């Protein structure tokens, strides 16, 4: 299916100022990304390293590429030279690897910690109660982690669930996000997809990740 240009314009106009739209282009051809790029979109999200690297090499250099999938440590090296934001950091060893690759490429790489807020056990991420010790460690060791910058949190709500449940999950994530605003550069709360972004925005999201609404079903 072609890019939904009308849906894109409507969405762009509907999102409050301060909410970044990440167009999730996974599985979609380069031509579709290009079409949305020509309408002015610059933030795109992918969830497989190989696919991201390939598309990045074929598309304009001013695209801001977001990695939204589960990232394996041994693949960080491939995206470190250009990735704009890694949404799915969920282990401390991965954070250290991002720093290491950041040093190698001379970039400070922005990351979000993925938090598990959904009922499904299949989704990745830290549990909310692991966040506190995790961030205390980060604060203690931050001097050494010069090439990685934690910008906030990312989470996915339960699939196809009722709005009350989704609202509860997003609100919980937002409350956790707000507890750490003392951290420098802590300004990004990535939550909301095609089906649940209106609720996410109401709950304080600063970044929505939208795929099917813009590119059609996968």
Q: Does 159 bind ligand PLP (CB under 6 A)?
A: no
Residues whose CB is less than 8 angstroms from the CB of residue 88 and which lie 6 or more positions away in sequence, other chains included: 67, 68, 69, 70, 71, 112, 114, 124, 125, 154
- The nearest distance, CB 139 to ligand PLP, in angstroms, is 27
- The nearest distance, CB 170 to ligand PLP, in angstroms, is 14
153-166 residues labelled b (16+ CB within 10 A) or e (exposed): bbbbbbeebeeeeb
> Given the complex with ligand PLP, which of 78 and 194 has the nearer CB atom?
194
The beta-carbon contacts of 186-189 under 8 Å, at least 24 apart in sequence, are 186/150, 186/151, 186/152, 187/151, 187/152, 188/20, 188/85, 188/112, 188/151, 188/152, 188/153, 189/152, 189/153, 189/154
> Given the complex with ligand PLP, which of 145 and 153 has the nearer CB atom?
153
Cβ contact 148:99 at 8 Å = yes
Q: Which of 47, 56, 205, 206 binds ligand PLP (CB under 6 A)?
A: 47
- The nearest distance, CB 144 to ligand PLP, in angstroms, is 29
> Given the complex with ligand PLP, which of 56 and 114 has the nearer CB atom?
114
- The nearest distance, CB 48 to ligand PLP, in angstroms, is 10
d(CA 175, CA 189): 11
Of 178-217, binders to ligand PLP (CB under 6 A) are: 193-195, 209-213
* Residues in the chain, total: 218
Residue of minimal CB distance from ligand PLP? Answer: 211
> Given the complex with ligand PLP, which of 145 and 213 has the nearer CB atom?
213
Q: Which of 35, 68, 94, 157 binds ligand PLP (CB under 6 A)?
A: 68
> Given the complex with ligand PLP, which of 68 and 71 has the nearer CB atom?
68
Q: Does 109 bind ligand PLP (CB under 6 A)?
A: no
d(CA 81, CA 116): 28
Q: Does 24 bind ligand PLP (CB under 6 A)?
A: yes
Number of neighbouring beta carbons within 10 Å of residue 106: 9
Where does this chain bind ligand PLP (CB under 6 A)? 24, 26, 47, 68, 156, 193-195, 209-213
């Amino acid at each position: 299916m072609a890019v939904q240009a009308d849906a894109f314009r409507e969405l762009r106009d509907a999102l409050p100022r301060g909410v970044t739209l990440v167009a999730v282009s996974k599985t979609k051809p380069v031509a579709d990304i290009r079409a949305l790029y020509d309408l002015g979109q610059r933030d795109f999200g992918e969830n497989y390293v190989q696919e991201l690297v390939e598309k990045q090499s074929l598309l304009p250099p001013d695209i801001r590429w977001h990695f939204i999938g589960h990232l394996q440590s041994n693949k960080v090296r491939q995206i470190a030279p250009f990735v704009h934001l890694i949404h799915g950091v969920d282990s401390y060893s991965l954070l250290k690897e991002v720093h290491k690759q950041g040093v190698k490429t001379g970039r400070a790489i922005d990351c979000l910690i993925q938090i598990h807020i959904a009922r499904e056990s299949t989704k990745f991420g830290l549990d909310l109660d692991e966040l506190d010790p995790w961030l205390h460690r980060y604060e203690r060791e931050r001097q050494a982690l010069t090439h990685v910058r934690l910008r906030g949190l990312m989470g996915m709500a339960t699939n196809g669930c009722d709005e009350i449940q989704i609202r509860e999950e997003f609100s919980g994530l937002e409350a956790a996000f707000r507890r750490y605003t003392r951290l420098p550069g802590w300004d990004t709360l990535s939550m909301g997809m095609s089906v649940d972004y209106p609720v996410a925005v109401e709950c304080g999201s600063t970044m929505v990740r939208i795929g099917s609404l813009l590119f059609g079903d996968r």
